[in-house]
């Protein structure tokens, strides 16, 4: 037995607490993961057991401690231009559509939401794709300043990294392949072992702490939503609830992208499946 061991009963208490606070569901096989990720927090908070820590946190309804617990168990796996095909669909299909709308209405503003954006690779990838597209669009139409990109996440530490826009060599090796390689030199400056997103791109992305359980009213509506590789962590009941709310947050004719292993299976609510190349995405009809 270790200095701090998480009993089955304590595991059940914590995973219910986590599901209640952020809807992430931890399976029976996640006991060791939860134990290792919470142990440091428990010790730093001055407790000698998980149950003492749990009782104090729940009793006080400590919001800062809640955020630390959620932050500790959140999976922050991400990379640039993840999965490839959605970005091709964006380049070849969706951005040309937006450009036509912009040409007929130069004052039109477009909004994109990168939900569960982790440390920022996805919203910055969006900004790069849009800037590159607009630079190659010779007929006028869409301008980068017409597109607002919002990145949200429940993890305070991830958002800190995202706002800084500074990435180490390991992060910069993940995703800049094939046609995306030139973007690394074009949109980043090297500062020793760290690469920083150029200020022009930073100015086009806004980051916000946000729990997907909360009301979407403050976010308003979007033309495109990227909700990728996050729904897999939720219960089926919450996923259906979330998809309904996401649908209502997308303008008619707007788009939803899920992760490569995710789908709207079982959801009936006016989101039509679309395909472009290898990409599958959904349109609000």
DSSP secondary structure, 97-127, as one string: HHHHHHHH-TT--EEEEEET-TTTHHHHHHH
pLDDT of the chain, 285 residues: tens digit per residue? 345 789 999 999 999 999 999 999 999 999 999 999 999 999 999 999 999 999 998 888 888 888 899 888 887 778 999 999 999 999 999 999 999 999 999 999 999 999 999 999 999 999 999 999 999 866 668 999 999 999 999 988 899 999 999 999 999 999 998 889 999 999 999 988 999 999 999 999 999 999 999 999 999 999 999 999 999 899 889 999 999 999 999 999 999 999 988 988 777 688 999 999 999 999 999
Contact 231, 242 (CB under 8 A): yes
Instruction: Give the integer Cα–Cα distance in Å for 58 and 112.
Output: 36
Q: Identify which of 247, 249, 239, 240 has the alpha carbon closest to the alpha carbon of residue 284.
A: 247
Residue with tokens 């690394």: 184
Strands 222-227 and 110-115: parallel
Tell me the C-alpha to C-alpha distance, in Å, between residue 209 and each of 15, 148, 252. Answer: 22, 17, 26
Q: With left for phi above 0 and alpha for psi between -120 and 50, is residue 259 left, alpha or beta?
A: beta
Residue 59's pLDDT is 83
User: pTM score, two decimals?
Assistant: 0.90
User: Measured between alpha carbons, how far apart are the two ends of the chain, in Å?
Assistant: 56
User: Residue 177 carries which DSSP code?
Assistant: -
Residue 253's pLDDT is 97
User: Residue 233 carries which DSSP code?
Assistant: G
Cβ–Cβ contacts within 10 Å for residue 88, how many?
Answer: 17
Residue 60's pLDDT is 86
């Amino acid at each position: 037995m270790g200095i701090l061991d998480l009993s089955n009963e304590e595991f059940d208490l914590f995973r219910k607490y986590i599901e209640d606070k952020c809807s992430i569901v931890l399976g029976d096989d996640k006991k060791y993961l939860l134990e290792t990720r919470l142990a440091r927090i428990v010790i730093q908070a001055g407790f000698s057991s998980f149950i003492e820590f749990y009782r104090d946190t729940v009793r006080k309804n400590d919001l800062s401690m809640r955020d630390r617990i959620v932050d500790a168990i959140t999976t922050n796996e991400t990379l640039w231009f993840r999965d490839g095909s959605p970005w091709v669909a964006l380049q070849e299909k969706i951005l040309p559509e937006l450009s036509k709308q912009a040409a007929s209405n130069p004052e039109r503003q477009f909004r994109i939401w990168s939900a569960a954006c982790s440390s920022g690779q996805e919203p910055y990838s969006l900004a790069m794709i849009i800037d590159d597209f607009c630079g190659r669009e010779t007929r006028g139409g869409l301008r980068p300043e017409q597109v607002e990109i919002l990145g949200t996440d429940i993890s305070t530490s991830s958002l800190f990294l995202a706002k800084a826009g500074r990435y180490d060599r390991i992060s910069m090796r993940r995703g800049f392949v094939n046609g995306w390689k030139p973007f690394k030199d074009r949109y980043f400056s090297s500062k020793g072992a760290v690469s920083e997103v150029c200020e022009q791109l930073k100015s086009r992305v806004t980051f916000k702490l946000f729990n997907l359980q909360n009301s979407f009213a403050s976010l308003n509506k979007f033309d495109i939503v990227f909700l990728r590789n996050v729904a897999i962590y939720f219960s089926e009941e919450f996923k259906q609830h979330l998809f309904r709310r996401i649908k209502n947050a997308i303008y008619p004719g707007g788009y939803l992208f899920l992760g490569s292993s995710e789908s709207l299976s079982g959801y009936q609510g006016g989101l039509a499946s679309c395909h472009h190349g290898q990409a599958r995405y959904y349109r609000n009809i």
